[in-house]
Amino acid sequence: MIFIKNLKFKIVSLTVMYMLTSGFTPLKNDNQKLWELFGQYKEYVMHTYPEWATYEGDHRYDSQVTDLSIKGIKNNFISLRKFINDLEKIESSSLSADNKINYDLFKNDLADNIEKEKFIYQYLPITQLDGIHIDFPQIIDSQPFETAEDFQKYFERLREASKQIDNVIERMKLGIKNNVVQPAYIIEQIIKETDEIKNTKTDEMPYFIPALNNKTLGENELKFVRSELKNILEENIKPAYQRLDNFLKDDYLKHARTTDGVWSLPNGEKLYQFEIRNQTTTNLTAEEIHQIGLKEVARILGEMEKVKNETGFKGTLQEFNNFLKTDPQFYYSNTDDLLNGYRDILKQVDKKLPDYFGRLPKAKYEVKEIESYKAKSSPQAYYYNAPEDGSRPGYFYANTYDLFSRPKYTMVALCLHEAVPGHHLQISIAQELENFPWFRKQLGMTAFVEGWALYAESLGYEMGMYNDKYQHYGALTYEMERACRLVIDTGLHYKKWTREEAYQYLRAHTPSSDIDVRAEIDRYVIWPGQALAYKIGELKIKELRKLAEDKLKDKFSLKEFHDHVLINGAIPLSLLEKNIKDWINSKTK
């Protein structure tokens, strides 16, 4: 037996040696081909979107920028089609069970991105909440600035960024020709943003921050860096912002549309149907979602009435909402106090997490102030996730603009939603999952991601975070806002509501400040369908939890349930339902 075993080993060794020396390449099976394609896709994304690569901790392209020209957009769609063609050459029936899921998710994600081409989103490249004019300055949070070479790459990137602004202008000109334009009030907000940046003193622009307190460069190097950076900002960046500003004021604004919903755009009704499917990962119709919203609004109103009475307030719900909006006790007068208030809440939550989750993320997070140049049009808070390599923390961004519109009573719900156990916990766990292709960790299934974050708000009751009646009411106001979104988003884009009708509806049902209500409505205008994902996702997670509790009874573990919801990253709600039902069945055998 030993002899035969050794003989077999020699034969195998000689065969392998022959294959290597003769140039023979072993045939790859379909599982290997699939993962090779995943690797190629990651490389494509990093190379095509170099700012994203920097954000992800891949610093090979720190001197480059994304091609935002029409040609660049077309080339991207060509590349996506090639990826889907290569994918379809792989025999999916021969894949492992896990890879069949990977295959389907990858194909669906590619197909959804390709489908966007016919809706000519490329003609709407900037809004008051996103776009080159306000997104690019955030590169300073991810780009290295330790050596003179790091700054040279930054200089090259800044010079190229001015071309990106010109590309955006050209795309918006095509939008005018094709009647694909933003509403005038959206453009007016963008103009305020560009005005603020271009009118800022050069050494106070966000772009200049890396050169202010650098402690790794020598004195002469730092002097050169500041001089060079100042020249680039004054000769490249500021003139580019001025060109964008002039175009928006002198040309685009007079062509901006006077309607609010996307139904008024070419192919707008089909666009909204696509976004409903894309954002909710369901086949629900706009009318069905509208009715779900009305039902949820009625239910939550009853809860709000109950909590209002428990506070001892004598008066109507509208009067109570006005009391909350106008009484100084519910607002900070100092920015640092607001930011530290968030930090104190999150410290309490962090201590409670092990009681509700078996797996916790390794990535850290920090509370950060929203930059002044974008704060006026930004929501009360949002999350900016950490890169996969953990080179920096995730950021819970808090809005400190107009402190009297940032109530204390919603702070707990915001912390639970944006940080832990909401976005930071869910996204970081997804990034840290092993044996998952890279694209799975990047999937932004809005219904799952935002549905989880809204569900995380509801966990505050079990975690003892809403013992204060006003914080409890604040949580209900946020849940009410998400229910109103179902009504308002479908109202704007399906039932042809006006912006003012949407504003009045949200104002009547929440105590939010006027500035927040306006910002919310304008967000729904520019992101059709996105607002639907929160409630639809949360309702599905709650439905599955109740199913598990009813089926498993004493065997139900909340920790296990949470871990099984999060174990596959962001996925379509139909796949989540299948996974949870499989887990339930495995526990009942």
pLDDT band at residue 15 under the 50/70/90 scheme: very low
Report helix, strand or coil for 331: strand
**pLDDT confidence of residue 109:** 96
Distance CA 450, CA 334 (A): 30
Q: Where are the alpha helices (DSSP H) in 330-418?
A: 335-352, 372-375, 411-418
Q: What are phi and psi of 124, to 5 degrees?
A: -125, 65
CA atoms within 13 A on the CB side of 469: 13
* Residue 356, CA distances (Å) to 360, 422, 556 in order: 10, 13, 13
pLDDT band at residue 13 under the 50/70/90 scheme: very low
The sign of the CA dihedral 539, 128, 340, 507 is negative
List CB contacts of 407: < 8 A, sequence separation 6 or more.
324, 325, 330, 331, 474, 511, 513
- Beta-sheet strands, E only, within 379-432: 381-384, 394-398
Distance CA 443, CA 108 (A): 11
Kindly state the DSSP code that residue 208 receives in the 8-state scheme.
G
* Mode of pairing for the β-strands spanning 394-398 and 381-384: antiparallel
Whether 423 and 470 have beta carbons less than 8 Å apart is answered as no
Distance CA 261, CA 259 (A): 6
What percent of the chain shows pLDDT beyond 70? 95
Distance CA 5, CA 2 (A): 5
**pLDDT confidence of residue 217:** 93
Q: What are phi and psi of 366, to 5 degrees?
A: -135, 155
Model pLDDT for residues 305-323, shown as the tens digit of each residue = 999 999 999 999 999 999 9
pLDDT band at residue 375 under the 50/70/90 scheme: confident
**pLDDT confidence of residue 415:** 98
User: Using CB atoms within 10 A of its CB, is residue 18 exposed (0-12), middle (13-18) or buried (19+)?
Assistant: exposed
Partners of 365 in beta bridges: 394
**pLDDT confidence of residue 27:** 56
Model pLDDT for residues 469-527, shown as the tens digit of each residue = 999 999 999 999 999 999 999 999 999 999 999 999 999 999 888 888 999 999 999 99
Residue 567 has pLDDT above 90, yes or no: yes
Distance CA 375, CA 415 (A): 18
Whether 206 and 373 have beta carbons less than 8 Å apart is answered as yes
Distance CA 416, CA 414 (A): 5
Whether 62 and 54 have beta carbons less than 8 Å apart is answered as yes
Model pLDDT for residues 330-363, shown as the tens digit of each residue = 999 999 999 999 999 999 999 999 999 999 999 9
Kindly state the DSSP code that residue 370 receives in the 8-state scheme.
P
Nearest-CA neighbor of 274 among 131, 120, 74?
Answer: 120
List CB contacts of 586: < 8 A, sequence separation 6 or more.
none
Whether 158 and 150 have beta carbons less than 8 Å apart is answered as no
The secondary structure of 237-286 as a DSSP string is IHHHHHHHHHHIIIIIHHH-BS--SGGGSTTHHHHHHHHHHHHHSS---H
Model pLDDT for residues 136-194, shown as the tens digit of each residue = 998 998 999 999 999 999 999 999 999 999 999 999 999 999 999 999 999 999 999 99
**pLDDT confidence of residue 213:** 80
Whether 342 and 379 have beta carbons less than 8 Å apart is answered as no
Model pLDDT for residues 446-481, shown as the tens digit of each residue = 999 999 999 999 999 999 999 999 999 999 999 999
Report helix, strand or coil for 125: coil
Residue 214 has pLDDT above 70, yes or no: yes
Residue 396 has pLDDT above 60, yes or no: yes
**pLDDT confidence of residue 26:** 53
Model pLDDT for residues 24-77, shown as the tens digit of each residue = 445 579 999 999 999 999 999 999 999 999 998 899 999 999 999 999 999 999
Mean pLDDT over the full length of the chain: 93
HEC readout, 19-73:
HHHCCCCCCCCHHHHHHHHHHHHHHHHHHHCHHHHHHCCCHHHCCCCCCCCHHHH
pTM, entire model: 0.90
Q: Where are the domains of the chain?
A: 132-257, 272-539
